[in-house]
């Protein structure tokens, strides 16, 4: 029983309650995995048959680690017999045993996402529906949501509200596709991941003898991360626990961040209603973070109304204040974080693996990847591919490469039929054979059809001609236009941008955002200055040379000593000595989509709480005052979450922002509050969070607001020097000024990009 001495009083109490329902509220860093592990070991040491213990986790890694730790206490032979694993793995196991009750073969296939989308594509085609309207990703999302809410296709087709919603979105046949999908899966003896939970519910509901069997088999049930369970998972657990009610759920309502996947925080908040005689244990001692980080996290999560009250505390060192860093742009933010990591790792002798950069969306990784590479700092993207290795990015870059070099065969094969233009695999195979036979490029083959006999019919050759004409038109302008202009032209003209925009599934939206982030980076690249050649255009060819090093994949190695880059969702359950929470701006974090209801905003606040509590020793909060969005430079306000932290735990920015602005943090927040109270802001206001400095020749101001520029103004331009404004014309969003510069002559400038400084 020595293992019990390793527990604090709250942990030990939770481990020692053997029978009855119980809920363990485990604050961040409070040792919940240890409690789960020791509780299972304690049950076995008190005579409970390991075969009668069901322990449900959300990752296979967690299950493996827990089993291993239990084995060191009770022996591997005992730990091996525990029913421990993820919801999907455990219930797939049960479904294989009971498959004949549902008329499935015991060796049924489990379809992954690609299998599902491929089958849906086939069904959509056979039904004669427009695949641009019924995108497989969108349809899959809809079916998945229905299954997680235990809505069968038959019930779906009888639900007038659901059908009305489908009609409103222009997809009235979704229910019929769902039914056909179910029938095709059944005919193929296959289930998808959602079916594993859906069909388990069907099994337990339709066959009382099966329910009775497993209710009495699993006398003790433990559920990790209970706050992340959806309705389907909740109902399975409730049914299985009904006979003995020896159910132990562990979780933290303050870390419920998966509503977009169907997780329902009410499952943990309403546990006492399902089990009125439950025992509740609160693990409030944090073993991970400094006192400053713990107290700051407490002050932010206290703003949520829907929560189980607890006061997380720690005996760890006080620690330093949390630094709030303000950058002028997202690129500058990336540079700051990279340089700060270099400084801390050098000064404090920390390993690269001690650092993590956490962001709200995957698309934000670009500026940090570029900055880390420039300092030769190794990093690893978690929960997703490196930004430049994502398919949609590689697709657009392939168009760029082919436009610059028509002989680039890999780029050619990647984009010849994407987006789809009716050039199939058979045609491509014929082209490859002809090119190989004559030792010429694929481009040479398609642009000289009379010379190379490919066997391609006239209709297909016409499509090849159109493709070649399009690429040639890009090539003719390649070095005449800035990189951003050309990049946007290619993304639009090829149909790639529209193809991604039309996909409204979460994955599709993410891919579209990634393309926009690439274009944002190209805008920054185009806007740079060459002091030796003020008139130089930074073209797409220049960009390709610059980005080549960034897209060169790192060699695989076993070295895990790398800086971690990941979304906050991917970081849940992890911890790092040094954490940077970046992009803390209104409409980015919290997301603009979360501002419609208190429930959504509280989930965003819980997400921020998760981010902050990943840090052990040092936490830095970062935001930019300007950020490119959709190719436009926009001004950003710091996230409300910064202000919601008790300021005594923060080190706020005090240094002046470039271009003659100075920060007034309180004024910045007041302005934000006024805006959200529907008070209109003044059209001539400076960028959010900044006070306009007094203009003078020695202290110029940046005229980011086009209304400040008037004919007759003396101005300063970064590239062209001093000049005089002759005329101003156009609507406020697209105002242009004609300016005479003594050094270079007359120039017409788009004011929102010109960065002019007024000198008088």
Cα separation, 515 vs 469, whole angstroms: 24
Question: Token match 């949609």: residue?
Answer: 392
Cα separation, 130 vs 596, whole angstroms: 32
Cα separation, 399 vs 639, whole angstroms: 37
Within 10 angstroms of residue 656's Cβ, the number of other Cβ atoms is 12
**The model scores a pTM over 0.85:** no
Phi, psi (rounded to 5 degrees) for 289: -110, 165
In the chain the first and final C-alpha atoms are separated, in Å, by 81
Cα separation, 595 vs 648, whole angstroms: 27
DSSP string, 60-111: HHHHHHHHHHHHHHH-HHHHTTSEEEEHHHHHHHHHHHSGGGGT--TT-EEE
Name the nearest CA neighbour of 23 among 246, 219, 249, 227: 249
C-alpha radius of gyration, the chain, whole number: 30
Q: Before 590, cis peptide (omega within 30)?
A: yes
Pairing of strands 757-758, 714-717: antiparallel
Q: Which two tokens stand for residue 632?
A: 């436009």
407 Rama class: left (phi>0) / alpha (psi -120 to 50) / beta? alpha
Quote the pLDDT of residue 467: 94
Sheet of strand 563-567: strand arrangement:
379-381, 563-567, 355-359, 576-581, 615-624, 322-327, 650-651
30, 284 in Cβ contact below 8 A?
A: yes
Q: Is 570 exposed, middle or buried (0-12, 13-18, 19+ CB in 10 A)?
A: middle
Quote the pLDDT of residue 154: 95
Q: What residues contact residue 596 under an 8 Å CB cut-off, 6+ apart?
A: none
Question: Token match 């974090």: residue?
Answer: 589
737, 728 in Cβ contact below 8 A?
A: yes
Cα separation, 403 vs 440, whole angstroms: 18
Q: Which two tokens stand for residue 248?
A: 């132990």
- Catalytic residue positions? 32-33, 224-225, 255, 614
Q: What residues contact residue 284 under an 8 Å CB cut-off, 6+ apart?
A: 10, 27, 30, 310, 311, 312, 313
Q: What residues contact residue 622 under an 8 Å CB cut-off, 6+ apart?
A: 324, 325, 326, 327, 333, 336, 337, 580, 581, 582, 583, 584
Q: What residues contact residue 630 under an 8 Å CB cut-off, 6+ apart?
A: 516, 519, 520
Q: How far is CA 279 from CA 10, 12, 250, 312, 691, in A?
A: 12, 13, 12, 19, 55
Cα separation, 691 vs 470, whole angstroms: 49
Cα separation, 755 vs 718, whole angstroms: 8
Kind and range of the H or E run holding 656: none
Q: What is the pLDDT of residues 581-631, one digit of tens each?
A: 999 999 999 988 888 888 899 999 999 999 999 999 999 999 999 988 777
Q: How far is CA 485 from CA 76, 518, 754, in A?
A: 63, 13, 16
Q: Which two tokens stand for residue 647?
A: 């300021």
Provide the strand spans (E) within 672-713. Answer: 690-691, 701-702
Task: Enumerate the β-bridge partners of residue 184.
Answer: none
Name the nearest CA neighbour of 28 among 271, 329, 296: 296
Pairing of strands 721-729, 736-741: antiparallel
Cα separation, 659 vs 704, whole angstroms: 10
Phi, psi (rounded to 5 degrees) for 296: -65, -45
| DSSP state, residue 9 | H
Q: Which two tokens stand for residue 305?
A: 């109304």
Q: Which two tokens stand for residue 251?
A: 């979780």
Q: How far is CA 322 from CA 188, 198, 727, in A?
A: 56, 45, 48
Cα separation, 179 vs 620, whole angstroms: 50
Question: Token match 């203009």: residue?
Answer: 695
| DSSP state, residue 320 | P
Kind and range of the H or E run holding 213: helix 208-217
Positions of the chain with pLDDT under 50: 549, 551-558, 655-704
650, 319 in Cβ contact below 8 A?
A: no
Within 10 angstroms of residue 558's Cβ, the number of other Cβ atoms is 4
């Amino acid at each position: 029983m020595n293992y019990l001495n390793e527990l604090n009083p709250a942990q030990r109490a939770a481990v020692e309650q053997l029978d009855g329902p119980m809920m363990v509220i485990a604050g961040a860093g409070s040792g919940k995995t240890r409690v789960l592990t020791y509780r299972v070991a304690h049950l076995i040491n008190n005579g409970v048959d390991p075969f009668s213990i069901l322990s449900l986790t959300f990752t296979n890694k967690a299950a493996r680690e827990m089993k291993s730790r239990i084995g060191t206490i009770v022996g591997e032979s005992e730990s091996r017999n525990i029913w421990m694993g993820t919801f999907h793995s455990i219930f797939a196991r049960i479904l294989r045993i009971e498959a004949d009750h549902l008329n499935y073969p015991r060796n049924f296939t489990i379809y992954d996402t690609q299998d599902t989308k491929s089958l849906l594509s086939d069904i959509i085609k056979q039904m004669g529906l427009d695949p641009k309207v019924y995108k497989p990703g969108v349809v899959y999302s809809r079916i998945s949501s229905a299954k997680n809410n235990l809505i069968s296709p038959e019930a779906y087709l009888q639900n007038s509200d659901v059908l009305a919603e489908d009609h409103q979105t222009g997809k009235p046949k979704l229910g019929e596709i769902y039914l056909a999908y179910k029938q095709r899966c059944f005919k193929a003896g296959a289930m998808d991941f959602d079916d594993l939970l859906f069909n388990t519910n069907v099994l337990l509901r339709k066959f009382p003898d099966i329910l009775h069997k497993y209710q009495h088999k699993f006398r003790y049930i433990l559920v990790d991360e209970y706050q992340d369970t959806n309705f389907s998972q909740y109902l399975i657990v409730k049914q299985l626990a009904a006979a003995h009610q020896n159910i132990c759920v562990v979780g933290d309502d303050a870390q419920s961040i998966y509503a977009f996947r169907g997780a329902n925080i009410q499952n943990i908040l309403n546990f006492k209603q399902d089990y009125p005689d439950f025992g509740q244990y609160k693990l409030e001692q944090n073993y991970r973070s400094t006192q400053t980080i713990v107290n700051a996290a407490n002050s932010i999560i206290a703003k949520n109304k829907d929560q189980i009250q607890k006061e997380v505390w720690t005996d760890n060192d006080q620690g330093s204040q949390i630094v709030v860093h303000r950058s002028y742009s997202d690129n500058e933010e990336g540079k700051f974080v990279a340089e700060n990591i270099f400084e801390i790792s050098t000064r404090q002798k920390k390993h690269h693996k001690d650092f993590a950069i956490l962001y709200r969306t995957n698309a934000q990784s670009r500026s940090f990847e570029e900055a880390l590479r420039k300092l030769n700092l190794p990093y690893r993207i978690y929960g997703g591919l490196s930004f430049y290795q994502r398919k949609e990015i590689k697709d657009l870059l392939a168009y760029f490469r082919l436009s610059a070099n028509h002989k680039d065969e890999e780029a050619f094969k990647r984009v010849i039929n994407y987006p789809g233009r009716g050039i199939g695999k058979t045609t491509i195979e014929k082209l490859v054979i002809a090119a190989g036979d004559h030792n010429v490029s694929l481009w040479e083959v398609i642009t000289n059809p009379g010379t190379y006999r490919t066997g391609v019919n006239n209709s297909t050759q016409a499509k090849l001609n159109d493709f070649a004409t399009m690429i040639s038109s890009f090539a003719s302008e390649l070095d005449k236009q800035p990189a951003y202009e050309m990049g946007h032209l290619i993304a639009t003209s090829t149909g790639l941008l529209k193809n991604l925009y039309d996909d409204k599934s979460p994955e599709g939206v993410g891919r579209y955002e990634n393309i926009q982030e690439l274009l944002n980076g190209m805008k920054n690249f185009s806007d740079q200055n060459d002091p030796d050649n003020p008139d130089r255009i930074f073209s797409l060819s220049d960009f390709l040379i610059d980005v080549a090093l960034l897209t060169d994949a790192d060699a695989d190695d076993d070295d895990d000593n790398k800086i971690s880059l990941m979304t906050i969702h991917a970081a849940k359950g992890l911890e790092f000595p040094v954490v940077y929470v970046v992009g803390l701006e209104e409409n980015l974090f919290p997301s603009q989509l979360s501002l419609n209801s208190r429930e959504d905003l509280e989930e965003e606040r819980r997400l921020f709480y998760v981010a902050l509590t990943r840090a052990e020793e040092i936490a830095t909060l970062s935001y930019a005052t300007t950020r490119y969005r959709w190719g436009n430079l926009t001004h950003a306000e710091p996230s409300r979450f910064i202000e919601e932290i008790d300021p005594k735990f923060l080190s706020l920015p005090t240094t002046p922002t470039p271009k003659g602005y100075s920060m007034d943090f309180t004024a910045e927040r007041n302005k934000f509050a006024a805006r959200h109270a529907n008070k209109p802001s003044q059209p001539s206001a400076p960028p959010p969070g900044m006070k306009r400095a007094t203009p003078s020749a020695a202290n110029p101001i940046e005229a980011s607001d086009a209304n400040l520029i008037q004919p007759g103004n003396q101005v300063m331009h970064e590239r062209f020097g001093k000049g005089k404004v002759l005329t101003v014309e156009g609507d406020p969003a697209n105002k242009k000024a004609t300016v005479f510069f003594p050094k270079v002559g007359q120039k017409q400038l788009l004011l929102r990009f010109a960065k002019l400084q007024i000198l008088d």
